[in-house]
Amino acid sequence: MANSAVSQSTNLEPQFHEEAFPWKHIIGYVLSLVLTGAALWCALGYHLRGSALIVTILAMAVLQIVVQLFLFMHLTESDGTRAHVWTICLGFFFTFVVVAGTIWIMSFGSQVA
């Protein structure tokens, strides 16, 4: 009896400010398409070159992360939020250190050689 009472009371209801229409998801999808299209336009249309191209399309990739994390992955809601944010920020920081540090050290070595 107690079990059925629990399952009754936890029926899914839109109790967490869920929108009537999934605008957040649609906005996120459109943004991801626009960012991808813009990166392709810059690169394959030869509108930018060299380091300007690299910086621009990397910036668009970072914006795509923001779209996924905030519009799709619900990063900033409910209780564990601060722990979620710190966890994933630490992950991105380590990623940056590993990738940038590797490039720095390895290209430094090749210049010396």
- Binding flag, residue 91, another protein (CB under 8 A): yes
Q: Which residues in the 55-84 window bind another protein by CB under 8 A? A: 57-58, 60-61, 64-65, 68-69, 71-74, 77-80, 82-84
Distance CA 105, CA 113 (A): 12
- Binding flag, residue 22, another protein (CB under 8 A): yes
Distance CA 109, CA 72 (A): 41
Closest CA to 60 of 32, 88, 99, 85: 32
Q: What tokens does 89 get?
A: 């920020």
What dihedral do alpha carbons 39, 41, 42, 44 form, nearest 10°?
100
Residue 14 C-beta: closest distance to another protein, Å: 5
Q: Give residues in contact with another protein (CB under 8 A).
A: 6-7, 9-16, 18, 22, 25, 28-29, 32-33, 36, 39-40, 43-44, 49, 53-54, 57-58, 60-61, 64-65, 68-69, 71-74, 77-80, 82-84, 87-88, 90-92, 94-95, 98-99, 101-103, 106
